[in-house]
Structure 1
């Protein structure tokens, strides 16, 4: 089932090939301050439609690229490595999508996982 999402103003839209099965709370300082609930996909599972001037990217250390809308400010998605045994696997990238942006989707009933992002590195 394709699931659609967008930022508040619609300048950044995306669709994913299947609805999320879980939501993830990351405890890293960035995700905590951003307030994002995430779900993860492979890049092939996410179709992005981004107005170039609306897409802004923040990266503290170059490992993760966090995108947000430059117009309305919504945190939209992040480009991240897969993590295995507290180590980044850059050969298997993932897209972390902000579940709060899905259109007409009830994420409150999904199981919630927590990642101890503050202690990954």
Structure 2
């Protein structure tokens, strides 16, 4: 096997591994949504990044639009998991500025704003 074949084989194997890991990340995402739906209404915001880490934010709100749970998955790779955002919990979704006041990262702020657009 020549060098080009080895390189193409390596690229194909890495592509397959990435596909498998993406499957497990999507499975984890769906499981988190299923678990969080039991607590209240779900708001999801996503901001993709080309040259910056992307962000997915899940907010759980009660019937008074207070955030009772918040999680974010942020990063470049398929190894990222959702992490609690305790500084957002307890705030009302109608006060967007107080929610994003302590949030770091443009992608995170954009994802939160997109999630808040889903409030009705």
TM-score by structure 2 length? 0.31
Bigger relative CO (Cα 8 Å, ≥ 6 apart): 1
Instruction: Write 1 or 2 for the structure with the bigger share of strand.
Output: 1
Instruction: Write 1 or 2 for the structure with the bigger share of helix.
Output: 2
Looking at CA atoms only, which structure, 1 or 2, has the larger radius of gyration?
A: 2
TM-score by structure 1 length? 0.31
